[in-house]
Amino acid sequence: MVGGPKRLLYEKVADVEAINNLFRAKTGKAYIDVLNEKTVKYRFDPKMGTGGTFGVNYPHYRDLLPLFGYKSIYMPKEERIRHADLVLELFWKPFQREVFEKTKSWYNCGEPCPVVCKKVWRGKKVDYESFHAVGPFIGNYLFEEAVPLVDLIDRLGLDAIEMGHLVAWLFDVVHTSLLKPEEVGIDDTPAFEPSKFNPVDDSRKNAKLAARLIENFVNNATEVLTLIARNGIRKAARELEKKFQDRVRAVGHRFRDLAVYAAFGAEGYMTPNFYWAPGLIAPMYIQGRYWSNYNPTFMPPEDFAKSAYERAVAEAYIDNAGICRFHRGWAEPVLADLYGLTGVKPPTPSLYRDIAYYSKLAGAEPMPWESKRSRDLVSTLAAELGAKEWKFEDYDDYYEWWVRYKAHLDKLVFS
C-alpha cells in the first residue's frame, strides 16, 4: 500500500511500534484498527454485505448511476430507480453471489495489503469503472456480457473509461442518425433509448455491437473511426460536424453535444469517471484521477471550487507519497506525522500550483463546457438536489458558474 519506485516511506516506516504509538496518540486506537475501519468499503462492509468498488457502488449510488452515456440524467427519478433495480438484479447480483457468497476470491494488488480490494469473478478482476464502462453505461445490463468486453479492452491495452465513453457516444450518435451504422462498421442500430430498453435482448445486442465497434476502432476499419482514433472525441466531433452539416441541421444537435468531457486548451480533453458529479468536469487542472470533489453534489461555484481544490491537494499529497488512494481515509490525517517519523522531507505544498502553472504554459488550461450533455450533467444534478439559486436557464448561467468557479480556483491555487 506504500509503493513507488524507491518505496521511500515504506522502507523508512518500518518501525511498527512507532506507527502504533502515533495512532494511539492521535485516535486512541491501534494502527490496524484504524486502517480496517477506514478501508471497510474496499474490503468488506458488513452493513452492506459487499465490498470493493463494484460491490459497493451499485447499491450505494443506485438511481444516481450514469446509464446510457449519461442519458439517465434526463430520466425522472422513478424511471431511474426502475433501471437501477434491473442493474442490481442482472449486473450486480451475479458478481455478488459468486464473489461474496460462494468463492470469496479477494486478493491484494501485489502490495502486502490487508484490504484485499481486488475482487475476482472466475479469474477476472472486477472493478466498478471498467465494468460499468462496458455495462450499464453503454446499455448492457448483463454482467456476463461485460466480462469479454473488459477482456478485449485489456488485451488491446486501451483505457476502459475512455472506451466506455467512446462506445456510448458512438452508440448515441448512430441512434440519433448523426452517423449510419456502417460508418462505424456495425450492422445494426444500438438500442439506446432507455424507455424502450429490453434488458436482456437489448443488452446482448449492444454488447455484440460494442465488441465489433472496439475491434473496428483499433483496426481503422472506417474513415470515421480513423478520424476519432487519431484525434480523440473532442476534435473528431468538430470535424464530423463540418463533414455532416446537413445531418447536424436535420437532427438538431451537434456531435459534441452527445459526449461528456472536460476540455483543456485547444484540443485536449478528459472523459469523466462514471459518476453523476459536476466536480469531474469542473475546471480543475487535473481531471481523470479523482483530484476533485466527485460526490454527487452541487454548490455555488466558489464553495464548489474550494471543496474540489482541497480534495485535489489532499489526493496529490497521498499520490506523491506513493500511498494507494484507497488508504487515504487513515493516511491523510497522519501523513505529515508519518513524514516526521521517517525523516524524509515532505513534498512542497505547491505541487498542485506547479502543475497548474505548467498547464498554463503548455496551453492546456481548463476550458468552458462545449457539449450540451456536459452542461446538462451539471444542471440536472443541481435540479435533482433542489438548488434554488442556480436554474441554468441559458448558456450564460453555465458560463457564469464555470467562470466564477475557475476564478476562485485560481485564487486558491496561485495566491
C-alpha angle 329/333/335, rounded to 5°? 105
Q: Answer left, alpha or beta for residue 7, where phi above 0 means left and psi between -120 and 50 means alpha.
A: left
Would you say 299 and 305 are in contact if contact means Cβ atoms under 8 Å apart? no
Contact pattern from residue 334 through residue 373 relative to ligand SF4, giving x for each residue in contact according to CB under 6 A and a dash for the rest: ----------------------------------------
CA dist 68 → 195, 223, 271, 278, 287 (Å): 11, 25, 15, 18, 22
- Furthest C-alpha separation in the chain: 71
CB of 116 to ligand SF4, least distance (A): 6
111 sits near ligand SF4 (criterion: CB under 6 A): yes
Binding segment for ligand SF4 (CB under 6 A), chosen from 53-61, 114-122, 329-337, 352-360, is 114-122
Which neighbouring-strand residues pair with 118?
107
| Choice between 3 and 94, CB closer to ligand SF4 | 3
Site string for ligand SF4, 220-259 (x = CB under 6 A): ----------------------------------------
Sheet (strand 106-107) strand order? 106-107, 118-121, 124-126
Q: Is 36 in the site for ligand SF4 (CB under 6 A)?
A: no
CB of 194 vs ligand SF4, minimal distance in Å: 33
Between 175 and 327, whose beta carbon lies closer to ligand SF4? 327
Angle between helices 143-155 and 160-175 (to 10 degrees): 120
Beta strand spans in 91-222 (E): 106-107, 118-121, 124-126
Residue number with CB closer to ligand SF4 (109 or 351): 109
Q: Residue 305's closest CA among 187, 211, 411, 224?
A: 411
Q: 306 to 325, contacts with ligand SF4 by CB under 6 A?
A: 324
Out of 56, 115, 281, 282, the residue judged to bind ligand SF4 by CB under 6 A: 115
Among 30, 40, 48, 109, binds ligand SF4 (CB under 6 A): 109
Residue (173 or 316) nearer to ligand SF4, CB:
316
Closest by Cα among 58, 42, 30 to 108: 42
Q: What angle do CA 83, 146, 217 make, to 5 degrees?
A: 110
* 108 sits near ligand SF4 (criterion: CB under 6 A): yes
Q: Which long-range contacts (CB under 8 A, 24 or more apart) does 63-67 make?
A: 64/275, 64/276, 64/296, 65/132, 65/136, 65/274, 65/276, 66/137, 66/274, 66/275, 66/276, 67/136, 67/137, 67/139, 67/194
Instruction: Write out the three cell numbers for 224.
Output: 470515421
Q: What is the closest distance, in whole angstroms, from the C-beta atom of residue 117 to ligand SF4 in the complex?
A: 3
- Look-up of cell digits 492521535: 26
- 37 in contact with ligand SF4 (CB under 6 A): no
**1 interacts with ligand SF4 by CB under 6 A:** yes
Q: Give the Cα separation of 295 and 291 in Å (integer).
A: 12
Based on CB atoms, which residue is closest to ligand SF4, 48 or 383?
Answer: 48
By residue count, the chain amounts to: 415
Q: Decide if 56 contacts 48 (C-beta within 8 A).
A: yes
Question: Which stretch, 108-116, 207-215, 344-352, 357-365, contacts ligand SF4 (CB under 6 A)?
Answer: 108-116
- Contacts with ligand SF4 by CB under 6 A: the residue count is 11
Q: Does 326 bind ligand SF4 (CB under 6 A)?
A: yes
3-class DSSP state for residue 246? helix
113 binds ligand SF4 (CB under 6 A): yes
Which residues inside 165-204 make contact with ligand SF4, applying CB under 6 A? none
Instruction: Name the residue nearer to ligand SF4 (CB basis): 48 or 109.
Output: 109
Nearest approach, Cβ of 173 to ligand SF4 (angstroms)?
A: 35
> 125 vs 205, which CB is nearer to ligand SF4?
125
Measured from the CB atom, the residue of 326 and 401 that comes closer to ligand SF4 is 326
Closest CA to 257 of 159, 198, 173: 173
* Rounded Cα gap, residues 64 and 136, in angstroms: 12
* CA–CA–CA angle 139, 100, 113 (5° rounding): 105
Nearer to ligand SF4, 234 or 327 (CB): 327
The site string for ligand SF4 over 40-79 (x = CB under 6 A, - otherwise) reads --x-------------------------------------
The footprint of ligand SF4 (CB under 6 A) covers 1, 42, 108-109, 111, 113, 115-117, 324, 326
